[in-house]
Amino acid sequence: MPTKKTIRYQDAGVNIDEADRAVGYIKVAAKKTFTRGVLTDIGSFGAMYRLAGYKRPVLISSADGVGTKIKVAFMTGRHDTVGQDLVNHCVNDIAVQGAMPLFFLDYFAVGKLEAEVAGQIGTGLGKACQENGCALIGGETAEMPGLYQPGEYDLAGFIVGAAEQAKLLTGKTVQPGDLLLGLPSTGLHTNGYSLARKLLFEVGKYTPKTFLPELDCTLADELLKVHRSYLKPIQKLLKANLLAAAAHITGGGITDNTPRVLPKGMAAEVKLGSWPVLPVFELLRRLGNVPDDDYRRTFNLGIGMILVIPQKKAAKATRLLKHMKEPYYEIGKIIAQPRGKGRVIYK
């Protein structure tokens, strides 16, 4: 039977006024990121961007999330870093193909919207976009009652970048003897959090507030360390014609991500012990007695980006990185793939 009571959208769990407040917070952060190519303000039906300055441009796009790292944000009430994680992850994914980021859009979905939480996330998105020279030009904030647990949300990002066709990083020139340089990560970045949470909070019985001397910080601080951007060193090497390929070490670790940028018949020989494995990974391994294969395919182990440097250009490349004060480790080399062996061989 129809009711005589007036029922509004808010009675169904959707608060349009709160959504407007949330968008207002995000809009402030977004406008600080606008570049000359942005033609529309936040709130347009579609975001417009004028591409200029390229002779033969190729557009490069990617979409990603931050996985269950957001569970740590829920547990701690700290939401200002996951937006940075999201942007930097997406930037790295297109940077390894030679792209400079142009613009970014986000998707934020929640059961019950809290404008202040959305504002924290928006601030993080804006901060990372500014640092990468990328415009936050739009997105979607969706309040969907009953779909998410109270206090929980999902977050995804979409990025578009561009590169000159002649400057694309395809890995086609990679040859045996090329040097593998590893750039350090800040920690877990955005991968392996489902296993990490199980080991730390279920097996280890720790809480986010637990201070561990071996980490020199609380678990919350360790787990919420921002996924760093590698755009600057990649672009510097690319412009100097010193880079053959680059691999973003995310889910799948060094084992699964390095082969993605290698030509058929090539393999990466990785020297174990050639870089310091961060204490958080040693802690996780100890707690779970994690097998080697799982360990290497779940976590980055302290290497967030692998650069493939042509053998004859190695000295110039390392000098450039030193000049940038960019830490690196010589972690291996490219070899012809041995018959019956995998494409990443640990020595």
Classified as helix, coil or strand, 16 is helix
End-of-domain residue from the set 132, 164, 196: 164
1: confidence class by pLDDT, cuts 50, 70, 90: low
CATH code at 38?
3.30.1330.10
Q: What is the mean pLDDT of the chain?
A: 95
Amino acid at 218: T
If asked whether residues 212 and 151 sit together in one domain, one would say no
The pLDDT value recorded for residue 25 is: 86
End-of-domain residue from the set 164, 190, 213: 164
Structural domain includes residue 169: no
3-state SS track over 110-126: ECCCCHHHHHHHHHHHH
Closest by alpha carbon to 225, among 304, 328, 327? 304
If asked whether residues 219 and 287 sit together in one domain, one would say yes
**Long-range CB contacts (within 8 A, 24+) of 138-141:** 138/42, 138/44, 138/46, 138/47, 138/105, 139/26, 139/105, 139/106, 139/107, 139/108, 140/105, 140/106, 140/107, 140/108, 140/109, 141/19, 141/22, 141/23, 141/26, 141/108, 141/110, 141/113
If asked whether residues 190 and 334 sit together in one domain, one would say yes
If you write DSSP's letter for every residue of 244-303 in order, what string do you get?
SEEEE--TTHHHHHGGGGSPTTEEEEE-TTSSPPPHHHHHHHHHHT--HHHHHHH--TTE
If asked whether residues 13 and 106 sit together in one domain, one would say yes
Query: Cβ contacts of residue 183 below 8 Å, gap of 6+?
Result: 230, 233, 303, 304, 305, 306, 307, 326, 327, 328
Compute the distance between CA of residue 263 and CA of residue 172 in angstroms, rounded to an integer: 6
23: confidence class by pLDDT, cuts 50, 70, 90: confident
pLDDT tens across 91-139, in order?
A: 999 999 999 999 999 999 999 999 999 999 999 999 999 999 999 999 9
pLDDT tens across 281-322, in order?
A: 999 999 999 999 999 999 999 999 999 999 999 999 999 999
Compute the distance between CA of residue 269 and CA of residue 308 in angstroms, rounded to an integer: 12
If asked whether residues 99 and 131 sit together in one domain, one would say yes
Compute the distance between CA of residue 65 and CA of residue 217 in angstroms, rounded to an integer: 26
End-of-domain residue from the set 114, 130, 164: 164
Structural domain includes residue 232: yes
Compute the distance between CA of residue 129 and CA of residue 131 in angstroms, rounded to an integer: 5
Structural domain includes residue 33: yes
If asked whether residues 197 and 151 sit together in one domain, one would say no
Compute the distance between CA of residue 41 and CA of residue 136 in angstroms, rounded to an integer: 10
- Residue 103, φ and ψ in degrees, nearest 5: -150, 160
Structural domain includes residue 1: no
Q: Which structural domain, as residue segments, surrounds residue 300?
A: 178-346
Q: Which whole-number Å values give the CA distances from 87 to 30, 84, 136, 141, 234, in the listed order? A: 13, 5, 10, 17, 16
Number of domains making up the chain: 2
Structural domain includes residue 52: yes
162 membership: H or E segment, kind and range: strand 153-164
Query: Cβ contacts of residue 11 below 8 Å, gap of 6+?
Result: none
If asked whether residues 158 and 247 sit together in one domain, one would say no
Q: Which whole-number Å values give the CA distances from 330 to 37, 104, 281, in the listed order? A: 39, 33, 20
pLDDT tens across 181-233, in order?
A: 999 999 999 999 999 999 999 999 999 999 999 999 999 999 999 999 999 99
- Helix, strand, coil % over all residues of the chain, rounded to 5: 35, 25, 40
If asked whether residues 201 and 249 sit together in one domain, one would say yes
Structural domain includes residue 157: yes
If asked whether residues 192 and 157 sit together in one domain, one would say no
CATH code at 277?
3.90.650.10
Give mean pLDDT, residues 72-89: 97
Structural domain includes residue 130: yes
135 membership: H or E segment, kind and range: strand 135-143
pLDDT tens across 321-336, in order?
A: 999 999 999 999 999 9
Residue with the bigger pLDDT between 274 and 1: it is: 274
If asked whether residues 289 and 239 sit together in one domain, one would say yes
Structural domain includes residue 3: no
Percent of the chain with pLDDT over 70: 98
If asked whether residues 226 and 123 sit together in one domain, one would say no
If asked whether residues 151 and 218 sit together in one domain, one would say no
